[in-house]
């Protein structure tokens, strides 16, 4: 299994996709961090003042946007085997296909963790100097900020599972990426704004990821961080299991 995982990393690092998506994640994080700081000066804003713990937690949670890109990376990582027909070589080397899915379920969350870490570093690198020019004193170990930062990394990690899972279930690259993006950026924001659904929206993937940082831009209830983590991991593993059982074993022509 260790060799399989090493092989997956080598596949991933031998093309540039990981780099573009990492730059995208870091760029988005930098943009969100800047917008949060700029907006916090506006009295009518949704952001709590940055002198408060709540405001600082919001600022330090902006890296959670990287999760969706990690999911995209995981979905592409799995489906490119079928799109570029490397599945033939992959399954010739590893005829037990569930092991291939398992290796990717390890590889992409590890990569997601690295993405999360980079986003955390970017946030800190922007926030600390900028806030000090505003004479706001920030301690990275106060106000629950370590938990927020850990939540960003955990979310990026677990979205790796979700991406691989959706890729395994759909096998089709365009389909998997479109489903993922439409769900995360269209369907879920609508669902979470419908009051009638309030009882179960915390169990959706996005709110479950927000539970990890306990920060969201919408007014909704969260699960506890550990519950959110379990729910998000559950989605990824359930999708991957369904994929391994239903679609991955299909004929490779």
78 binds another protein (CB under 8 A): no
* Long-range contacts from 128-137, C-beta under 8 angstroms, 24+ separation: 130/34, 130/37, 131/37, 131/50, 134/50, 136/50, 136/51
Piece of 3-11, 123-131, 221-229, 240-248 that binds another protein (CB under 8 A): 3-11
Q: DSSP alpha helices (H): ranges in 134-224?
A: 145-170, 173-182, 188-191, 205-213
**Who contacts 7 (Cβ-Cβ below 8 Å, separation ≥6)?**
103
- Put residue 137 in one of left, alpha, beta given phi > 0 → left and psi -120 to 50 → alpha: beta
CA separation for the pair 214, 252 (Å, rounded): 43
| Smallest separation, CB 89 to another protein (Å) | 6
Q: Does 4 bind another protein (CB under 8 A)?
A: yes
107 is a contact residue toward another protein (CB under 8 A): no
Of 48, 91, 130, 203, the one binding another protein by CB under 8 A = 91
- Examine residue 252 and tell whether it contacts another protein (CB under 8 A): yes
Determine the Cα–Cα distance for residues 13 and 41; give it in Å rounded to an integer: 41
| Closer by beta carbon to another protein, 137 or else 251 | 251
Least distance from another protein to the Cβ atom of residue 158, Å: 26
User: Is residue 245 at the binding interface for another protein, with CB under 8 A as the rule?
Assistant: no
| Cβ proximity to another protein, 156 vs 248, nearer residue | 248
Please give the Cα distance from 143 to 93 (Å, whole number). Answer: 50
Q: Contact region for another protein (CB under 8 A) — 87-95, 145-153, 178-186, 193-201?
A: 87-95
* Widest distance between CA atoms in the chain: 64
Phi, psi values for residue 192, rounded to 5°:
-75, -10
Asked if 251 touches another protein (CB under 8 A), the answer is yes
85 vs 134 by CB, closer to another protein? 85
Judged by CB under 8 A, the stretch of 11-19, 69-77, 131-139, 239-247 that binds another protein is: 11-19
By CB under 8 A, tell whether 102 contacts another protein: no
- Binding region for another protein (CB under 8 A): 3-4, 6-7, 10-11, 14-16, 80, 84-89, 91-96, 249, 251-253
């Amino acid at each position: 299994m260790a060799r399989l995982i090493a092989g997956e990393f080598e596949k991933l690092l031998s093309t540039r996709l990981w780099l573009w998506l990492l730059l995208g994640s870091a760029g988005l994080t930098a943009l969100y961090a800047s917008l949060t700081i700029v907006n916090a000066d506006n009295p009518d804003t949704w952001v709590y003042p940055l002198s408060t713990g709540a405001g600082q937690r919001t600022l330090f949670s902006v890296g959670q946007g990287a999760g969706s890109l990690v999911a995209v990376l995981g979905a592409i990582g799995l489906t490119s085997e079928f799109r570029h027909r490397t599945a033939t070589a992959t399954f010739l080397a590893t005829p037990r296909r569930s092991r291939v899915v398992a290796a990717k379920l390890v590889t992409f969350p590890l990569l997601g963790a690295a993405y999360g870490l980079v986003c955390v570093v970017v946030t800190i690198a922007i926030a600390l100097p900028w806030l000090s020019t505003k004479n706001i004193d920030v301690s990275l170990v106060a106000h629950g900020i370590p938990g927020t930062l850990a939540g960003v990394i955990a979310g990026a990690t677990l979205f790796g599972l979700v991406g691989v899972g959706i890729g395994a279930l759909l096998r089709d690259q365009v389909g998997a990426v479109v489903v993922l993006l439409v769900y995360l950026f269209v369907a879920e924001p609508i669902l979470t704004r419908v009051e009638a659904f309030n009882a179960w929206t915390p169990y959706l993937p996005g709110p479950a990821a927000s539970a990890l940082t306990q920060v969201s831009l919408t007014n909704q209830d969260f699960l506890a961080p550990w519950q959110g983590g379990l729910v998000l991991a559950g989605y990824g593993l359930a999708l991957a299991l369904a994929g391994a059982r239903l679609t991955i074993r299909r004929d490779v022509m």
